[in-house]
Structure 1
Amino acid sequence: MWRRALTLSQSKASQSWRVIATRGATSGSGKYSPSTSASTSAAAAVDSLLLRSLKDHYLEVSKLNPPPKVSPPSPFTIIKGALDSNGPVLRRTYGNEEINIYVMRLVNIIRGEGYDLEDDDEINQLFLHVDVSKPGQESSLHFLCGLYPDAIGIHSVSVRPKLETLADAVADAVPSRYNGPVFEDRHEGIKDALHTFLQERGVNESLFPFLQAWLYVKDHRNLLRWFKSVGTFINERKPVDA
């Protein structure tokens, strides 16, 4: 329900922006007026309409109830400040290894940001980056995985410099250098061993409920932040001198 409400609000907001854009285009294509005051008045009216729409949608989204709180499976812990950064979301140690988990929706990689939250087949696909590092080593073992409610699939395995942000992970999705052999073409024994390697470290489908809920909350916060930042920019715009 929370997801559907958030989607509806985003859809309404998009419709409002299209209406504003259409009105602006219509007024711009009309009879030219040299009057600076008339132009300024029209701009102020458009700004007022936009600010009112931003405020209405901000209030609507801010009233949405978040999904039920889900804790990550032990011994993973949530990294402080992860919701407001592009760094890892979860971390754990395994022996002398540090394991960091980065996540985004798989559909964001395939189709960009314009995904449909109503499509459960799409929302139930997460793009997982698993960074396994050891003290004293500059490189780490990097897994690119597809995470689903009932399974995890490895897309590639490579040895790369340790990841710092999600942007680094996304850049690695389109590597500029050799990223290891195509995983699906490897011998079944190697593939099974690598899956077991992740399973032993707790990287499996049990992560899905938490990471899915975490992404919903992050989307909610990002949308509220977007409304505020656009509104602040419009509200602080200074008139251009004639």
Structure 2
Amino acid sequence: MSLLRAVRQFSLPSSRSISLRSSLISTRARAPALSRITAATPAVRASFSVSACRFGEGTTDGDVSAKITEELAYEKEAAIEGEPEFLKEFKTSGIWTIEDAPGNDEVGIHRKFGNEHIRLIFSIADLQSAEENFEPPEGEEGASEDVEASYPLRCSFTITKPSVPGALSIDAVCQEGAFVVENVSFYSDSKLATDLTAEADWKRRGLYIGPQFETLDLSLQEEFEKFLQERGINESLAFFVPEYAQYKEQKEYVGWLNKVKKFIDA
């Protein structure tokens, strides 16, 4: 379990039952689930001579597959062909490099700064968790159009130096074009800050991770913020992170639909 995942467990709900596209899906017609189940369920006193469907060929398979096909068509129609412009610009800048493995919910972004290696980790799982708690402001016209930009994403930065032992770890929340720092920790063993294993996470739990950032002297907070800004942890990156998270979430959702449909149709 990564440090980011451990922090997220205590801060955001783990349920992922509500997706970003829930408001869109709800507007499309759906056949009542109860009626389908009732129609497909045989009478209790049916004869044992009635042949049962073979495994993988249930009476509801076709309905589920058709619904997934409908959803895939909708997603294809709404998707932008090719690589989005914001991603092209980010890559062209050549400052940060993206680590994104298909099928994983965590994304890594890293860069070199002098003799430092800086790595940022965030998770698209926070998008769904954040929507469950989000309440759009009342009385503001166009508030619904800005909902996605208001979702907070938890981020974990680590800064290491190959010539010096230890690592600096910064926990922050990315929201509305800014990184709000919550904690700055120092690990004498850099592996504890960067290792994503369960063993490393267990070792981190018993360590003193430093005071809450907001309790530090204001002048020290300001110097830390300048320190991060100089390393590219700034407004530009804070706008990119949620935009990329939504882009990845959309790709993962389409991939999930395709995999589920292929399994059901087999």
Distance in 1 separating the partners of 2:224 and 2:166: 18
Are the aligned partners of 1:105 and 1:123 in contact in 2 as well (CA < 8 Å)?
no
Distance in 2 separating the partners of 1:106 and 1:36: 48
Distance in 2 separating the partners of 1:140 and 1:229: 39
Q: One-letter code of the match for 1:24? A: I
Count of equivalent residues? 225
Distance in 2 separating the partners of 1:64 and 1:164: 38
Q: Deviations over 1:176-214 (max 9, x none)?
A: 543211221121122112111101101011113322321
Q: One-letter code of the match for 1:152? A: F
Which range is displaced more, 127-136 or 218-227?
127-136
TM-score with structure 1 length normalisation? 0.72
Question: Which secondary structure does the structure 2 equivalent of 1:33 belong to?
Answer: coil
- Which of 150, 153, 159 lines up with 2:186 in the alignment? 159
Distance in 1 separating the partners of 2:33 and 2:180: 44
- Which of 171, 181, 184 lines up with 2:211 in the alignment? 181
**Which residue does 1:95 correspond to in 2?**
114
**Which residue does 2:75 correspond to in 1?**
61
In structure 2, do the counterparts of structure 1 residues 83 and 209 end up closer, same or farther at CA, with 3 Å as the change threshold? Answer: farther
Question: Which secondary structure does the structure 2 equivalent of 1:208 belong to?
Answer: helix
Which range is displaced more, 202-211 or 99-108?
99-108
Q: Which runs of 5+ in 1 are unaligned?
A: 237-242
Q: Which runs of 5+ in 2 are unaligned?
A: 1-19, 137-143
Are the aligned partners of 2:181 and 2:213 in contact in 1 as well (CA < 8 Å)?
yes
Q: Deviations over 1:67-121 (max 9, x none)?
A: 9521238452232545654554322111100111222469549x46757795735
In structure 2, do the counterparts of structure 1 residues 192 and 20 end up closer, same or farther at CA, with 3 Å as the change threshold? Answer: same
Question: Which secondary structure does the structure 2 equivalent of 1:54 belong to?
Answer: helix
**Which residue does 2:37 correspond to in 1?**
24
Question: % of aligned pairs identical?
Answer: 19
Distance in 1 separating the partners of 2:156 and 2:195: 12
Deviation at residue 127 of structure 1 after TM alignment: 2.1
Question: Which secondary structure does the structure 2 equivalent of 1:103 belong to?
Answer: strand
**Which residue does 1:200 correspond to in 2?**
230
